[in-house]
Amino acid sequence: MLSVRTATLADVDPLVRLVTSAYRGEASRAGWTTEADLLDGERVDPAVLRADITRPHSRVLVVDDGGPLACAHVAVEDGAGYFGMFAVRPDRQGRGVGRALLAEAERVVRDEWGQALLRMTVIDARADLVAWYVRRGYVRTGRIKPFPYGDERFGVPKRDDLRFEVLEKRL
């Protein structure tokens, strides 16, 4: 059983490093969640992370193992639970840590906040990641959101066809 705690402001820098290592640059290629062929730059903005840690009905979950091993952000947004900023250290991916953290995120949203639906957005070019969520009960809604081109807080795109697909799960 993993020990999951709530992030504090002291976690901001280590969490930025963790999330970046899971998605950007050469280090991310050690795992399967890399977006290195799609995006450069930031994966999470420290100011946005600080706000996520401190605002009501928002929690950043952290699994520690001598430092952050995994994290995820959950919140209540637009009448449903929201899930994002999901990262597992690349050298520990594929060992069930992410699956367990996702289950804990679902529990928080359902049991602590009383939400019956959990929603997320995934870059639709990430077919392997979309399939991973579908295997865990998430449904492709067919709703698409534009990628925030020009806002480097979300990365520097290497392609001009990026967009987000909305996935949902009834809890």
Global confidence as pTM: 0.93
pLDDT digits (tens, 9 = 90+) for 59-110: 999 999 888 999 999 999 999 999 999 999 999 998 999 999 999 999 999 9
**From the centroid of its chain, how far is CA 98?**
10
Query: What's the fold here for domain 4-120?
Result: Aminopeptidase (3.40.630)
Q: Which residues contact 152 (CB under 8 A, 6 or more apart)?
A: 41, 42
Residue 130 has pLDDT above 90, yes or no: yes
Residue 1 has pLDDT above 70, yes or no: no
- b/e sequence 76-86, b meaning 16+ C-beta within 10 Å: beeebbbbbbb
Q: Where are the domains of the chain?
A: 4-120
Q: Which residues contact 49 (CB under 8 A, 6 or more apart)?
A: 12, 15, 16, 60, 85
User: In the chain, pLDDT over 90 holds for what percent of residues?
Assistant: 78
